[in-house]
Structure 1
Amino acid sequence: MQNSEKTSNGGTYKKAIYSGTFDPITNGHMDIVRRASSIFEEVVIAVAKSERKKPMFSHEQRVEFAKQATKDLKKVRVIGFDTLLVDLATQMKINTIIRGLRAVSDFEYELQMGYANSSINKNLETLYLMPTLENAFVSSTIVRELIRFNGSFCHLIPKEVLKCM
């Protein structure tokens, strides 16, 4: 199995990758990260450059936001990337992708992406996690709109990210 290697104590070492634009990383994302890190021994947050989406924050800022937000989570590592996710996962020998689902509208797109990734790499699995109810409405899009119109958004992003902004 590509995603397994033996640890020093003989157990199975499992990794997962959680990718996104994270423009910016939100409490909803952090909810998924915390829950994924309770399942896997390592979670790699892969921040996509994603210039076609015209992000509000630079790639470097978004990577730094994610690093600051997760600095106290021992099982989490943050990287930036500018490739296909399936290629990054293969290169890193990770065969589990974590995706968050807030609503039925997310499901259709995420299902298509999961099937597309699996068609390229048959060993790739996608694990869908739902955020807690209190974070179900939180999205980077909402946060960006609140920022643009000087609305209150501090309660929607990690306090470490606020310090970076």
Structure 2
Amino acid sequence: MIRRLCVSMTGCAPDDLEALIAEVSAAAQLERLLWNDSVALPRVGVLPPGFDESRVVADLVTGTLAAVLRSGKSLSVRLALHEGPTFLSGAEFGGPAVETVRAMCVGGRLPAPLTVVISGRLFDDVVAIGAEGFPLRSFRPSAAGFWRAFLPDRQPPDSDGAQNDDAG
């Protein structure tokens, strides 16, 4: 198994999702972001080792938000990011990290154009290293070990507004 950054995305029609993935990958210069089967939702992609994860996370979050807002459509996209062990089986990636990022991306429509969920360890790394343009203050603790943001920056009506001052 190889440790990789994993990305999962869902929340719109398949054609819109493919266009969004292509636009965001190109804007973030992630030609090596390899996506699993285009029929399975949520879509899952993995990066080979050796990328500046903080930059990639920031670029994926800001690039996805910009693309969603530019689309002019009423989208409710989910983007999940996690890092962990993966393996290649045939033409598809699998492993604990792939299953985790897929599960992080499942759920109903949320009250924002973009909902981002980042696993705790990856979020902590981004905070420690820093990443230009990353909307740190938009993130709140979510389910055990995860951070979530509703973008553009707003909290859903049922949010308790909990904030972790150590995280920004």
The TM-score by the shorter chain falls in which range? under 0.3
Larger relative contact order (CA 8 Å, sep ≥ 6): 1
User: TM-score under structure 2 normalisation?
Assistant: 0.27
Larger radius of gyration: 1
Give the helix-richer structure, 1 or 2: 1
Give the strand-richer structure, 1 or 2: 2
